[in-house]
Chains A and B, each alone.
Chain A
Amino acid sequence: MSNPTANVKLALEELRAELMATYDPAKPCVTVCAGTGCCASGALEVKAALDEEIKKQGADVNVDIKITGCRGFCEQGPLVAVLPSKIFYAKVKQTDAAQIISKTILKGEVIDKLLYKDPVTGEKIIHENDIPFYKEQHRILLHDSGSIDPTSFEDYLIVGGYKALAKALLTMQPDEIIDEVKNAGLGGRGGAGFPTGRKWELCRQSPGTEKYVIINADEGDPGAFQDRSLIEANPHSVLEGFIIGAFAIGAQHGYIYIRHEYPLAVERIKIAIDKAREHGILGKNILGSGFDFDVTVQMGAGAFVCGEETALMASIEGFLGEPKARPPYPAQSGLWGKPTNINNVKTWATVPYIINKGAAWYSQMGTETSKGTTIFSLVGKINNTGLVEVPMGISLRDLIEKVGGGSPSDKKLKAVQTGGPSGGCIPESLWDVPVDYKSLGKLGSIMGSGGMIVMDESTCMVDIARYFLNFSRFESCGKCTACREGVTRMYEILDYITRGYGQEGDIDQLEELCKSIKAGSLCGLGQTAPNPVLTTIKYFREEYEAHIRDKTCPAGVCKELITFYILPDKCTGCSLCARYCSDQAITGEKGGLYVIDSDKCQRCGVCREVCNFDAVVVR
Chain B
Amino acid sequence: MAEDISKVDQIIDTYGLEQKGLIPVLLDIQTEYHYLPPEAIQHVSERMNIPMIQVYQVASFYKVFSLEPRGKHIITVCMGTACHVRGSTMLVDQISRVLHVEPGETTSDMQFTLEEVNCLGACALGPVMVIDGKYFGKMTVNKIEKTLSKYMETEVVANE
Specify which chain A residues have a CB less than 8 angstroms from the CB of B120 in the assembled complex.
Answer: 36, 261
Say yes or no: is A249 at the interface (Cβ < 8 Å to chain B). Answer: no
Do A41 and B137 have beta carbons less than 8 Å apart?
yes
Do B81 and A223 have beta carbons less than 8 Å apart?
yes
Specify which chain B residues have a CB less than 8 angstroms from the CB of A221 in the assembled complex.
Answer: 119
* Shortest Cβ distance from residue A612 to the other chain B in the assembled complex, whole angstroms: 12
The listed residue (A298, A386, A606) touching B141 by CB distance below 8 A is A606
Closest chain A residue to B118 by CB distance? A222
| A-facing residues in B122-160 (Cβ within 8 Å) | 122-126, 128, 135-137, 140-142, 158-160
Once the chains are docked, how many angstroms separate the CA of A74 from the CA of B125?
A: 7
Among A225, A260, A318, A579, residue most surrounded by chain B Cβ atoms (within 10 Å): A318
Known interface pairs A40-B128, A580-B142. Does A320 touch B61 (Cβ–Cβ under 8 Å)? yes
Once the chains are docked, how many angstroms separate the CA of A229 from the CA of B124?
A: 12
Do A41 and B125 have beta carbons less than 8 Å apart?
yes
* Segment of A193-201, A342-350, A374-382 engaged in the interface with chain B: A374-382
Among A37, A260, A301, A451, residue most surrounded by chain B Cβ atoms (within 10 Å): A301
Say yes or no: is B26 at the interface (Cβ < 8 Å to chain A). Answer: yes
How would residues 449 to 466 of chain A score, 1 for a CB under 8 Å from any chain B CB and 0 otherwise? 001010100010000100
Say yes or no: is B84 at the interface (Cβ < 8 Å to chain A). Answer: yes
| A-facing residues in B63-110 (Cβ within 8 Å) | 63-65, 79-87, 90, 93-94, 97-98
Specify which chain A residues have a CB less than 8 angstroms from the CB of B98 in the assembled complex.
Answer: 582
Say yes or no: is A165 at the interface (Cβ < 8 Å to chain B). Answer: no
| B-facing residues in A594-616 (Cβ within 8 Å) | 602, 604-606, 609-610
Specify which chain A residues have a CB less than 8 angstroms from the CB of B27 in the assembled complex.
Answer: 260, 299, 301
Say yes or no: is B14 at the interface (Cβ < 8 Å to chain A). Answer: no
Do A222 and B135 have beta carbons less than 8 Å apart?
no
Do B119 and A222 have beta carbons less than 8 Å apart?
yes
Once the chains are docked, how many angstroms separate the CA of A582 from the CA of B141?
A: 12
Once the chains are docked, how many angstroms separate the CA of A451 from the CA of B83?
A: 13
Known interface pairs A320-B61, A467-B81, A604-B90. Does A386 touch B124 (Cβ–Cβ under 8 Å)? yes
Do A260 and B126 have beta carbons less than 8 Å apart?
no
Say yes or no: is B52 at the interface (Cβ < 8 Å to chain A). Answer: no
The listed residue (B20, B61, B123) touching A316 by CB distance below 8 A is B20
Do B142 and A379 have beta carbons less than 8 Å apart?
no
Say yes or no: is A96 at the interface (Cβ < 8 Å to chain B). Answer: no
Specify which chain A residues have a CB less than 8 angstroms from the CB of B81 in the assembled complex.
Answer: 222-223, 379-380, 417, 420, 451, 453, 464, 467-468
Do B137 and A609 have beta carbons less than 8 Å apart?
no
Known interface pairs A317-B19, A318-B19. Does A220 touch B122 (Cβ–Cβ under 8 Å)? no
Once the chains are docked, how many angstroms separate the CA of A223 from the CA of B61?
A: 23
Say yes or no: is A302 at the interface (Cβ < 8 Å to chain B). Answer: yes
Specify which chain A residues have a CB less than 8 angstroms from the CB of B124 in the assembled complex.
Answer: 37, 74-75, 77, 377, 379, 385-386
How would residues 330 to 361 of chain A score, 1 for a CB under 8 Å from any chain B CB and 0 otherwise? 00000000000000000000000000000000
The listed residue (B21, B26, B87) touching A301 by CB distance below 8 A is B26
Known interface pairs A75-B124, A379-B126, A604-B97. Does A220 touch B87 (Cβ–Cβ under 8 Å)? no
* Shortest Cβ distance from residue A133 to the other chain B in the assembled complex, whole angstroms: 11
Specify which chain A residues have a CB less than 8 angstroms from the CB of B125 in the assembled complex.
Answer: 37, 40-41, 74-75, 77
Closest chain A residue to B93 by CB distance? A604
Say yes or no: is B8 at the interface (Cβ < 8 Å to chain A). Answer: no
Specify which chain A residues have a CB less than 8 angstroms from the CB of B93 in the assembled complex.
Answer: 602, 604
Say yes or no: is B22 at the interface (Cβ < 8 Å to chain A). Answer: yes
Do B94 and A319 have beta carbons less than 8 Å apart?
no
Specify which chain A residues have a CB less than 8 angstroms from the CB of B118 in the assembled complex.
Answer: 220, 222, 302, 304, 471, 475
Specify which chain B residues have a CB less than 8 angstroms from the CB of A605 in the assembled complex.
Answer: 87, 90, 141
Once the chains are docked, how many angstroms separate the CA of A40 from the CA of B130?
A: 10
Once the chains are docked, how many angstroms separate the CA of A124 from the CA of B19?
A: 58
Say yes or no: is A309 at the interface (Cβ < 8 Å to chain B). Answer: no
Say yes or no: is A536 at the interface (Cβ < 8 Å to chain B). Answer: no
Say yes or no: is A224 at the interface (Cβ < 8 Å to chain B). Answer: yes
Say yes or no: is A219 at the interface (Cβ < 8 Å to chain B). Answer: yes
Do B26 and A222 have beta carbons less than 8 Å apart?
no
Specify which chain B residues have a CB less than 8 angstroms from the CB of A471 in the assembled complex.
Answer: 118
Say yes or no: is B24 at the interface (Cβ < 8 Å to chain A). Answer: yes
Do A301 and B123 have beta carbons less than 8 Å apart?
no
* Shortest Cβ distance from residue B120 to the other chain A in the assembled complex, whole angstroms: 6
Once the chains are docked, how many angstroms separate the CA of A221 from the CA of B57?
A: 24
Do A459 and B121 have beta carbons less than 8 Å apart?
no
Closest chain B residue to A303 by CB distance? B62
Do A318 and B121 have beta carbons less than 8 Å apart?
no
Once the chains are docked, how many angstroms separate the CA of A75 from the CA of B62?
A: 31
| B-facing residues in A61-107 (Cβ within 8 Å) | 74-75, 77
Specify which chain B residues have a CB less than 8 angstroms from the CB of A393 in the assembled complex.
Answer: none
Once the chains are docked, how many angstroms separate the CA of A75 from the CA of B82?
A: 13
Known interface pairs A260-B27, A261-B121. Does A40 touch B141 (Cβ–Cβ under 8 Å)? no
Do A223 and B20 have beta carbons less than 8 Å apart?
no
Say yes or no: is A31 at the interface (Cβ < 8 Å to chain B). Answer: no
Closest chain B residue to A225 by CB distance? B121
Say yes or no: is B3 at the interface (Cβ < 8 Å to chain A). Answer: no
Do B97 and A582 have beta carbons less than 8 Å apart?
yes
Say yes or no: is B23 at the interface (Cβ < 8 Å to chain A). Answer: yes
Known interface pairs A453-B81, A605-B141. Does A377 touch B63 (Cβ–Cβ under 8 Å)? no
Specify which chain B residues have a CB less than 8 angstroms from the CB of A319 in the assembled complex.
Answer: 19, 58
Say yes or no: is A315 at the interface (Cβ < 8 Å to chain B). Answer: yes
Say yes or no: is B13 at the interface (Cβ < 8 Å to chain A). Answer: no
Say yes or no: is A39 at the interface (Cβ < 8 Å to chain B). Answer: yes
| B-facing residues in A243-268 (Cβ within 8 Å) | 260-262
Say yes or no: is A397 at the interface (Cβ < 8 Å to chain B). Answer: no
Once the chains are docked, how many angstroms separate the CA of A579 from the CA of B146?
A: 14
Say yes or no: is B4 at the interface (Cβ < 8 Å to chain A). Answer: no
Say yes or no: is A321 at the interface (Cβ < 8 Å to chain B). Answer: yes
* Shortest Cβ distance from residue A71 to the other chain B in the assembled complex, whole angstroms: 11
Say yes or no: is A228 at the interface (Cβ < 8 Å to chain B). Answer: yes
* Shortest Cβ distance from residue B49 to the other chain A in the assembled complex, whole angstroms: 12
Do A302 and B21 have beta carbons less than 8 Å apart?
no
Known interface pairs A222-B80, A453-B81. Does A609 touch B141 (Cβ–Cβ under 8 Å)? yes
Once the chains are docked, how many angstroms separate the CA of A303 from the CA of B62?
A: 6
| B-facing residues in A504-530 (Cβ within 8 Å) | none
Once the chains are docked, how many angstroms separate the CA of A298 from the CA of B62?
A: 14
Do B119 and A261 have beta carbons less than 8 Å apart?
yes
* Shortest Cβ distance from residue A458 to the other chain B in the assembled complex, whole angstroms: 9
Q: Can you sample 22 A-B contacts with CB below 8 Å?
A: A36-B120, A36-B122, A36-B135, A74-B123, A75-B124, A75-B125, A77-B124, A222-B80, A222-B81, A222-B83, A223-B80, A262-B121, A299-B24, A302-B64, A318-B22, A318-B23, A385-B82, A453-B82, A579-B159, A604-B90, A604-B97, A609-B141
Q: A-B pairs with the 8 shortest C-beta distances?
A: A74-B124, A40-B135, A225-B121, A301-B62, A222-B80, A302-B63, A223-B81, A379-B82
| Chain B residues at the A interface, C-beta cutoff of 8 Å | 18-24, 26-27, 57-58, 61-65, 79-87, 90, 93-94, 97-98, 117-126, 128, 135-137, 140-142, 158-160
